[in-house]
Amino acid sequence: MTETVRLVEVGPRDGLQNEPDPVPTAVKLELIRRLADAGLRCIEATAFVSPKWVPQMADQAEVMAGLPARPDVAFPVLAPNMKGYEAAVAAGAKEVAIFGAASESFSQRNINCSIAESMTRFAPVMAAAARDGVRVRGYVSCVVACPYEGAVAPAQAAAVAAELHAMGCYEVSLGDTIGAGTPASVLALLEATAARVPVAALAGHYHDTYGMAVANVAASYGFGLRVFDSSVAGLGGCPYAKGATGNVATEDLVYLLHGLGAATGVDEDALADTGAWISTQLGRANGSRAGRARLAKRPATTGA
Q: List active site positions.
A: 238
Q: Which residues lie below 8 Å from residue 296, measured CB to CB, with a gap of 6+? A: none
Question: What's 23's DSSP letter?
Answer: P
Helix axes 250-259, 268-281, angle to 10 degrees: 160
Rounded CA gap, 292 and 280, in Å? 13
Closest CA to 47 of 65, 61, 36: 61
DSSP assignment string, 4-18: B-EEEE-IIIIITTT
Rounded CA gap, 158 and 160, in Å? 6
Which amino acid would we find at residue 80? P
Would you say 227 and 214 are in contact if contact means Cβ atoms under 8 Å apart? no
Give phi and psi for 195, each to the nearest 5. Answer: -75, -15
Rounded CA gap, 54 and 304, in Å? 47
- Whether the CA torsion 182, 184, 185, 191 is positive or negative: it is positive
